[in-house]
Copies of this chain bind each other. A is one copy, B any other.
Amino acid sequence: MNQPCPQHAHPRRLVQQPLSDLTARLRAQSRKITGPRQAILDVLRSHAIPLTNRQIHHALGKSDCDLATIYRTMHTLLEMGLVRRCDFGDGTARFELSDADDPRHHHHLVCRVCNIVVEIDACLPPQLEADLALRHGFSQIAHHLQFFGVCPRCKEHPDAADPAGLPGRPGPRREP
């Protein structure tokens, strides 16, 4: 860790997680493979950035399932470790796939103006959490880290709106 992103634009990740894996995991907890759950996972698979529940709901379109179902499903998937939760500080949870085969730890760089999201792998020095554990007596230490800035495009055109085209977040945020 600690070295910055190897490429300017990090390649989008379109995970093809084998259904069998999901099936096995669900079975193991006497949970069921339902239409909504598969549809939701499909949506997550086809997007490379974290989505809000509302965005997922919107993306589902016709095969519409209830928002409450999406909320419940995300809880389930979180518990099962199939998704990861991201917090961009705007009061709305976002979720991205955390495929079991490649549970790659990473963070995000979010444009304060247009909300575009770039996935990065820069991270904390690995020994830092161990030091914290030692000094404060805490165990099971994990961290949340996100970066905010102004993307090159918004630096150029300070009036452009959400090019990410993702619903669910109106204007710029109020983060420092």
Binding site for B on A (CB under 8 A): 2, 4-5, 7-9, 75, 78, 84-85, 87, 89, 91, 109, 111-112, 118, 120, 122, 124-125, 128-129, 131-152, 155, 174-176
Contact status B4-A132, CB under 8 Å: yes
Residues of B within 8 A of A125 (CB): 2, 125
Residues of B within 8 A of A131 (CB): 4, 122
7 sample A-B contacts, Cβ–Cβ < 8 Å, listed by A number: A2-B125, A78-B174, A118-B138, A136-B151, A138-B152, A140-B149, A143-B147
Q: How many copies does the complex hold?
A: 2
Cα A142 to Cα B112 in complex, Å, equals 10
Contact status A142-B85, CB under 8 Å: no
Q: Which of B7, B9, B149 contacts A133 (CB 8 A)?
A: B149
Measured CB to CB, the closest approach of chain B to A108, in angstroms, equals: 11
Smallest CB-CB separation from A146: which chain B residue?
Answer: B144
Residues of B within 8 A of A149 (CB): 132-133, 136, 138-142
